[in-house]
Amino acid sequence: MANPTPKPSPTLILRVILRCWLCSSLAMGATYNVVNFGAKSDGKTDSSKAFLNAWAKACASSNPASVYVPQGRFLLGSATFGGQCHNKALTFTIDGTLVAPSDYRVIGNSGNWLQFESVNGVSIRGGVLDGQGTALWNCKNSGKGNCPTGATTLAFTNANNIAVSGLTSLNSQLFHIVFNGCQNVKVQGVKVLADGNSPNTDGIHVQMSSHVTILNSKIRTGDDCISIGPGTTNLWIENIACGPGHGISIGSLGKDLNEAGVQNVTVKTVTFSGTQNGVRIKTWGRPSNGFVRNVLFQDAIMVNVENPVIIDQNYCPANKGCPGQASGVKVSDVTYQDIHGTSATQVAVKFDCSSKYPCSGIRLEDVKLTYKNQRALSSCNHAGGASLGSVQPQSCF
């Protein structure tokens, strides 16, 4: 008869349980509540220092860590969250609202309100960012001329492996969310809210960045819902509701002579409601070595959009610095597939390309856009391409 397997002692079992609990706790990491660092949820007391101190603790942790913002309104001035953190899994969990100073002059010339710089593995979950930009918009719209530029609400600069989910950006002074020089970014379930007459309040702006994904978001603002700047590659945008606003724009590009190009961009399953533009490519009418190539606009619904499909390579605001010149930006291999809906103007498809470097490889496939229940028109200047399937308005290639 074999000897029975000895039973482990209660002491050994307890050691194993404690070891598992300790490992689990280390994996989950510590949570740093900003209130414990002196933050006040009254919306009046400047809590910037408390937030930065909580960040410093989380950043110094060698294990995954979280900064927690409970319910309430927390006033913050301009703040930069940076440094070489000891871990690459740092989460900002926000159940409350972060509020910018009501006097726009406090942060109006700071560039950014909240900035994450040179970070790796940061996630922001939930919360509301209230930029309180209404007074600054009124100043700009009044034409007074002495208004500050305004601050971007949330900026990521030279950051990698970033996730933003469930966040609401409200009434930004300037751009709402910006990614500049970033790699591997995922934005999901974001809401951007600002008046249709709010100037320069782009919803999400991406430039000099690669492998950025923007999903399942609703953007209502006074400028581009999403703007795509120089040096953007491998960008995926899907399931976006845009309007009011100026649409989804690649550009403006070509302001500088030496400029990084834009390539490998997909925009799909987007609804534009009452916007100034739908899907747009915009370049300055001046010399540049920039380019736009390998772009897919797919499955877009236009609802009373002024310029549903547009390439404008003669952008020259106030006719300064560019009249009479041709854009140097080369636009090629752009596909418009399954674009349907209504145009607010008779010309629903407009390709106004560079006279020096005409657009090439433009492809229209299964497009149906109408104007006041009638056929719309298309317009082409220096554009070449092909049409496949049913295309209305009739192609002008």
pLDDT for residue 7: 61
Task: Measure the CA–CA gap between 178 and 167, rounded to whole angstroms.
Answer: 14
**pLDDT tens-place string over residues 340-393:** 999 999 999 999 999 999 999 999 999 999 999 999 999 999 999 999 999 999
**pLDDT tens-place string over residues 26-38:** 445 899 999 999 9
Q: Catalytic residues, which ones?
A: 246
The model carries a pTM of: 0.93
Task: Measure the CA–CA gap between 52 and 31, rounded to whole angstroms.
Answer: 14
Determine contact, residues 376/348, Cβ cutoff 8 Å.
yes
pLDDT grade for 15, boundaries at 50, 70 and 90: low
Percentage of the chain lying above the pLDDT 90 cut: 89
pLDDT exceeds 70 at position 25? no
Edge-to-edge strands, sheet with 79-81 = 79-81, 112-117, 152-157, 177-180, 204-207, 226-228, 248-253, 277-284, 307-315, 347-352, 377-381
**pLDDT tens-place string over residues 278-303:** 999 999 999 999 999 999 999 999 99
As beta bridge partners, residue 183 has 160, 210
pLDDT for residue 263: 98
Q: What are phi and psi of 176, to 5 degrees?
A: -80, -60
pLDDT for residue 145: 81
**pLDDT tens-place string over residues 226-244:** 999 999 999 999 999 999 9
pLDDT for residue 347: 98
pLDDT exceeds 60 at position 57? yes
**pLDDT tens-place string over residues 67-93:** 999 999 999 999 999 988 999 999 999
